[in-house]
């Protein structure tokens, strides 16, 4: 009999209950007891949704981030938060976001909060984790209270449990050395704490523990390969069975290593690595469990259950009870429940599966494997009918769009002149001071904005009244920026619900859910649009709003667009054609918008590519193929304008040093990037690479409520000026200000403008 299990379940709740609970607590509007009760309620619901599984995950629920949870479990806290004497959860939030509640901070050693932990992307996903910080003197000490509490809850409810933890080698690999020391030198100190944790779980009656090691799907040098052998040969004496879980990619040359680690079972991502499964079986010792991730945990299309069974049935005969099946990775990356959708197009909805539906698909596969296909014939027939409908739908394929992509030439993505020739023309037109100041695009999405949008969508507000509300908010944003003395303004994006969804709503080939939320980080949730068909722009999307904003000021107003690569990477993308094809379709649509903005008199246009790096394959040998089509897509979208039009792009919260050459090839006149949380470490790339165009290294962390000082921002810009000539530097926040409140934004930007003035005075 095949065993079913799950690697993780979405923790935000079907209606984002966790988001609202966290934000209420951080504002001091609810108690820690209420937040903890919400956590228990969500966990109970999640376990109920997974009741049909043979093993359900425990410990996958988090109040912010599973990697930060692991840091606290290992007693691995940054030095700056170790003196806190309040609630452990408040200290946890201080690492996550720089502070907890106002009351908690009042009892802290420094009521202004602390520096938040650095945040970056979890492998190649749009989920962000809090980066562990290491030094040569880092020590670890077990604190299993969080995991044991959740385990006790599950056991009390009769859940067939499988605790989930981040593995030791991946934990070290995804962290950052703060003093240049070798992270692997910490492995001998780390492993005894892991062993203690595993034996503690065994003492509570746990049989299986899922230990996540996605680092195994990356290219490992000899030291990291040795670290895996060292780690698991030490942990093999623990009194639990380990299911070592890999996902997001292929094992390739690491297959022999993974197959022969002394663990009881191995999980592999059969969505990404189906061709590697049979060779892996040939390597796997005969006593080991093989778990296959056969349901896509990162996308929302229905699984072809018949085709999957055609592949799985011979493996089931070969492996017998050693075969487990599961989603490919944690379902954290997909929405909770398709059944919640009331407005999604019925035909498109029939093609989809969210987390709960994916577990239903898993049960159909298990029933067919265990009892034969006739036991689930109706489900298989319905699945095939939905797949056939999708393949045949004229809404999916538009020949005119495919023809336009086929006519793209290399020249379409090239500016008329080089940056060196363009820059003087732009300077003459824009007349900006040294260290020009700007923001990344969005300003606070106030309660009034959200209410107006909700009323408009519900029909309680007509189009004219909605436009009036949005124009009033744009006027406010322009007025505040002029009062602050910013040099290049933005309209604030009051009319935009999300930087991707807003554009998708105006493009043919996209559909939208009501409740298709997924967690990006902490309480930040996004609702990715569904790219189901060929993309076409029926009409301008941003021109009227930008033209109105420019009419309010004599200062340059940036046109704000989301780039094709980011729209692609932050969408649920169709799986029936190459992603590169869909990206070029998007590039042509954004190009039309860029040209319309220029025609309307807009002289600065920002095309955000925040997600460029997260689309990188996990293996460097595959990077070039991706970067070639991703960079070309950006260039197609951006480079039809005249020399005098200044093109900006923005990227945030990723490591860019190793792809800086490709970023330079995008040939944007100005790039803005996140550097504040990393203390300008991202600019280390310029020690060896001479970036040719202008750059705005973000000088304050907008994801923390802490107020940055003028002196701190001046110091960061001086660090930047050591790598990039001062005449090519801009001063800006590290990301958009949508998630902040005006009382936080105004003083922070005042300090930023003051920092720019100080820098100009020193330059003079």
Backbone angles phi, psi at 119, to 5 degrees: -125, 135
**Residue 121 is labelled as binding a ligand:** yes
Residue of 86, 38, 81, 77 lying closest to 61 (CA atoms): 38
- Provide the sign of the torsion angle of the four alpha carbons 724, 174, 563, 522, taken in this order: negative
Angle formed at CA 303 by CA 253 and CA 45, multiple of 5 degrees: 100
Detail the DSSP E strand segments found in 683-750. 694-697
**What interhelical angle do 543-550 and 463-484 show, nearest 10?**
50
User: Cβ distance 571 to 300 under 8 Å?
Assistant: no
**Residue 17 is labelled as binding a ligand:** yes
CA 345/CA 762 separation, integer angstroms: 59
**Residue 226 is labelled as binding a ligand:** no
Element (H, E) at 648: strand 646-651
Active-site residue flag, 703: yes
Task: Label each residue of 506-545 as H, E or C.
Answer: CCEEEECCCCCCEEEECCEEECCCEEEEEEECCCCCCHHH
**Ranges of H-type helices in 98-167:** 102-106, 145-156
User: Cβ distance 236 to 263 under 8 Å?
Assistant: yes
CA 683/CA 672 separation, integer angstroms: 12
R_g of the chain computed on alpha carbons: 26
CA 131/CA 134 separation, integer angstroms: 10
CA 271/CA 673 separation, integer angstroms: 33
User: Cβ distance 530 to 571 under 8 Å?
Assistant: yes
**Residue 239 is labelled as binding a ligand:** no
Query: Is residue 142 helix, strand or coil?
Result: coil
- Provide the sign of the torsion angle of the four alpha carbons 670, 589, 593, 345, taken in this order: negative
Residue of 662, 667, 708 lying closest to 685 (CA atoms): 662
**Ranges of H-type helices in 640-703:** 660-665
How many alpha carbons lie under 13 Å from residue 462 in its C-beta half-sphere?
1
Strands 518-521 and 119-121: unpaired
**Residue 16 is labelled as binding a ligand:** yes
**Residue 524 is labelled as binding a ligand:** yes
* DSSP of 440-494: -SB----HHHHHHHHHHHTTSS-HHHHHHHHHHHHHHHHHHHHHHT-SSB--B-T
**Residue 189 is labelled as binding a ligand:** no
Query: Is residue 423 helix, strand or coil?
Result: helix
**Residue 448 is labelled as binding a ligand:** no
* CB atoms inside a 10 Å sphere around CB 445: 22
CA 716/CA 722 separation, integer angstroms: 10
Detail the DSSP E strand segments found in 31-184. 56-58, 119-121, 128-130, 133-134, 161-166, 176-177
* CB atoms inside a 10 Å sphere around CB 406: 9
CA 563/CA 615 separation, integer angstroms: 13
Catalytic residue among 76, 703, 712, 751: 703
CA 133/CA 76 separation, integer angstroms: 8
**Residue 742 is labelled as binding a ligand:** no
Largest Cα–Cα distance in the chain?
Answer: 82
User: Cβ distance 294 to 308 under 8 Å?
Assistant: yes
Q: Which residues are catalytic?
A: 703
As annotated, the binding site includes: 16-19, 121, 440-442, 493, 524-525, 570, 608, 614, 650, 652, 674, 735
As annotated, the binding site for L-methionine includes: 440-442, 493, 608
As annotated, the binding site for L-homocysteine includes: 440-442, 493, 608
As annotated, the binding site for 5-methyltetrahydropteroyltri-L-glutamate includes: 16-19, 121, 524-525, 570, 614
As annotated, the binding site for Zn(2+) includes: 650, 652, 674, 735
């Amino acid at each position: 009999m095949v065993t079913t299990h799950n690697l993780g379940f979405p923790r935000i709740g079907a209606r984002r209950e966790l988001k609202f609970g966290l934000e209420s607590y951080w504002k001091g509007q609810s108690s820690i007891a209420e937040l903890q009760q919400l956590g228990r309620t969500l966990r109970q619901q999640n376990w109920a949704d997974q009741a049909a599984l043979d093993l359900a995950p425990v410990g996958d629920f988090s109040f912010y981030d599973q990697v930060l949870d692991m840091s606290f479990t290992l007693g691995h806290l940054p030095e700056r938060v170790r003196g806190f004497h309040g609630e452990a959860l408040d200290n946890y939030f201080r690492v996550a976001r720089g502070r907890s509640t106002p009351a908690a901070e009042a009892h802290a050693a420094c009521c202004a909060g602390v520096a938040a932990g650095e945040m970056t992307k979890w492998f190649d996903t749009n989920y962000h984790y809090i980066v562990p910080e290491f030094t040569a003197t880092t020590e670890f000490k077990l604190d299993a209270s969080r995991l044991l509490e959740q385990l006790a809850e599950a056991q009390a409810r009769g859940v067939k449990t499988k605790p989930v933890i981040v593995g030791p080698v991946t934990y070290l690999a995804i962290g950052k050395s703060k003093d240049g020391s070798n992270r692997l030198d910490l492995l001998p100190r780390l492993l005894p704490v892991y062993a203690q944790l595993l034996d503690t779980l065994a003492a509570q009656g746990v049989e299986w523990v899922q230990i996540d090691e996605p680092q195994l799907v990356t290219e490992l040098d000899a030291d990291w390969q040795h670290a895996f052998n060292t780690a698991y040969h030490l942990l093999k004496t623990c009194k639990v069975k380990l299911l070592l879980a890999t996902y997001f990619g292929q094992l390739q040359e690491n297959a022999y290593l993974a197959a022969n680690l002394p663990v009881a079972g191995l999980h592999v991502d059969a969505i990404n690595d189906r061709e590697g499964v049979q060779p892996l079986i040939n390597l796997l010792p005969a006593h080991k469990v093989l778990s296959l991730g056969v349901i896509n945990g990162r996308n929302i299309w229905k699984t072809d259950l018949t085709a999957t069974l055609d592949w799985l049935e011979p493996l089931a005969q070969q492996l017998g009870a050693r075969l487990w099946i599961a989603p490919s990775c944690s379902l954290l990356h997909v929405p909770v429940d398709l059944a919640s959708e009331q407005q999604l197009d019925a035909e498109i909805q029939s093609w989809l599966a969210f987390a709960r539906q994916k577990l239903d698909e898993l049960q159909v596969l298990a029933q067919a494997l265990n009892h034969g296909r006739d036991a689930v014939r109706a489900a298989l027939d319905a699945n095939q009918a939905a797949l056939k409908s999708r393949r045949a739908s004229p809404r999916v394929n538009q020949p005119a769009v495919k023809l336009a992509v086929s006519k793209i030439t290399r020249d379409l993505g090239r500016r008329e002149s080089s940056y060196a020739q363009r820059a003087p023309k732009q300077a003459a037109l824009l007349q900006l001071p040294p260290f020009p100041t700007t923001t990344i695009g969005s300003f606070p999405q106030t309660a009034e904005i959200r209410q107006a949008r909700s009323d408009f969508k519900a029909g309680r507000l007509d189009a004219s009244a909605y436009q009036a509300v949005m124009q009033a908010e744009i006027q406010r944003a322009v007025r505040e920026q002029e009062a602050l003395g910013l040099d290049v303004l933005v309209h604030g994006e009051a009319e935009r619900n999300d930087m991707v969804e807003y554009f998708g709503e105006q493009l043919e080939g996209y559909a939208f859910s009501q409740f298709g939320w997924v967690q990006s980080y902490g309480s930040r949730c996004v609702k990715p649009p569904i790219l189901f068909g060929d993309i076409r722009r029926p009409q301008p999307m941003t021109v009227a709003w930008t033209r109105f904003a420019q009419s309010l000021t004599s200062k340059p107003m940036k046109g704000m667009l989301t780039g094709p690569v980011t729209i692609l990477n932050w969408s649920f993308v169709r799986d029936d054609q190459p992603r590169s094809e869909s990206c070029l379709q998007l590039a042509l649509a954004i190009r039309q918008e860029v040209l319309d903005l220029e025609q309307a008199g807009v002289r600065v246009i920002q095309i955000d590519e925040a997600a460029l790096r997260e689309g990188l394959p996990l293996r460097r040998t595959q990077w070039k193929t991706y970067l070639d089509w991703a960079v070309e897509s950006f260039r197609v979208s951006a480079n039809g304008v005249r020399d005098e039009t200044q093109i900006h792009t923005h990227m945030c919260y990723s490591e860019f040093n190793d792809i800086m050459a490709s970023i330079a090839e995008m040939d944007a006149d100005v790039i803005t990037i996140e550097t504040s949380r990393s203390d300008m470490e991202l600019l280390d790339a310029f020690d060896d690479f001479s970036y040719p165009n202008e750059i705005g290294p973000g000088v304050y962390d907008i994801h923390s409520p802490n107020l940055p000082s003028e002196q701190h921002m001046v110091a960061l810009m001086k660090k930047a000026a050591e790598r990039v000539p001062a005449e090519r530097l801009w001063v800006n926040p590290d990301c958009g200000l949508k998630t902040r409140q005006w009382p936080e934004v105004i003083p922070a930007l005042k300090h930023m403008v003051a920092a720019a003035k100080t820098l100009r005075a020193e330059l003079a």
